[in-house]
Amino acid sequence: MNDKAQALIHVVEDDANVAGLITGTLERFGYRHAVFPSGGEFLRQLRVQSPDLAILDLGLPDMDGMDVLQQLRKRHRFGLLIATGRVDTYDCVMGLELGADDYVVKPFEPRELIARVRSILRRYQPEPQIQDLNLRVAHFAGWRFEHASHRLISVEGIEDTLSLAESQLLSAFLERPNQVLSREQLLSGRDVSALDRSIDLRVSRLRKRFEQGGHSGKFIKTVYGAGYLLATPVSWS
């Protein structure tokens, strides 16, 4: 998928003025789009056609945006960007926990919106990889991570499926254990200036995955002023 002209973006926004600003920005940068003023209309359209990315407002007239997000991640796999006027960090964190790839707070600059759109679309592009790499299993600190299925398996054998964003972040750590990785490296060089806030939230989410069941996620360490480090040996099978 080309991250521009061929990408279809669904804008789920009930405010006509905001929707117009978003679609106007998308048009200027060459993206196709469709607008849905309610969550119900958007979900019905998904039975016919899925987008490459959806920009989802949390304050919809017919249903809460968080409910829409939960339904999406149960049945569909495409990019999700939250566009919210809620300044409470809790809403943004909850959206990321439920599977959103990123968020942007209204009002936002057009270039910030496009930077986030581009970054998410690139994540969902199929990467040319040798098939054997997709079948690899990482072993670290008693845990296992199956690259192909995004499954994280605890010391006790409890399985958890990571989101695409979480899988990519964990893979970046596992590929270079015991090395300090900058935010840019963790995002594969993508639009780091626009995503500084969300990469920290993603690392926090990933740590919580390891903390479930009484374990510690402290082997993902913060190196202040430099980035993050996975402080444990990793082997592959």
User: For residue range 49-72, what is the model confidence (pLDDT) as tens digits?
Assistant: 999 999 999 889 999 888 998 888
Mean pLDDT estimate for the chain: 84
Q: Quick one: pLDDT at residue 194?
A: 43
103 vs 111: CA distance, rounded Å: 14
Cα dihedral 51, 56, 61, 67, rounded to 10, equals 90
The pLDDT, as a whole number, for residue 127 is 55
Residues 86-95 have pLDDT tens digits of 767 777 888 8
The 10s digit of each residue's pLDDT in 180-217 is 888 777 776 444 444 456 778 888 888 888 887 566 66
Q: What pLDDT shows up at residue 217?
A: 66
Residue 158: its pLDDT value, please? Answer: 86
The answer to whether 119 touches 102, Cβ cutoff 8 Å, is yes
Report the percent of the chain where pLDDT is more than 70: 86
- The pLDDT score that the predictor gives to residue 181 is 86
Question: Do 105 and 84 meet the contact criterion of CB atoms below 8 Å apart?
Answer: yes
CATH number for the region 8-123 comes to 3.40.50.2300
Paired tokens of 143 = 């845990």
CA-based torsion, 153, 168, 166, 60: positive or negative: negative
pLDDT, position 16: 95
Q: Are 3 and 125 in contact (CB under 8 A)?
A: yes
pLDDT value of residue 134: 57
Helices and strands in the chain, H and E counts = 9, 13
Report domain extents, the chain: 8-123, 131-236
Residue 29: its pLDDT value, please? Answer: 92
How confident is the model at residue 5, as a pLDDT? Answer: 52
What phi and psi values does residue 12 have, to the nearest 5 degrees?
A: -105, 95
CA distances from residue 196 to 101, 141, 184, 202 in whole angstroms, order as listed: 14, 28, 9, 10
Sheet containing 102-105: order of strands: 32-36, 8-12, 53-57, 79-84, 102-105
CATH of domain 131-236: 1.10.10.10
Are 158 and 202 spatial neighbours (Cβ–Cβ below 8 Å)?
no
- Could you tell me the strand order of the sheet in which 180-181 lies? 180-181, 227-230, 220-223
Comparing CA positions, the residue from 108, 110, 99 lying closest to residue 68 is: 99
H-assigned helices in the chain: 16-28, 39-45, 65-75, 89-97, 110-123, 131-134, 164-175, 183-186, 196-211
Encode pLDDT of 107-139 as tens digits: 889 999 999 999 899 888 765 544 455 568 999
> How large is the average pLDDT for residues 11-30?
95
**Residue scoring higher pLDDT (27 or 96):** 27
- Span 83-109, mean pLDDT? 83
How big is the CA angle at 76 (ends 68 and 119), to the nearest 5 degrees?
A: 90
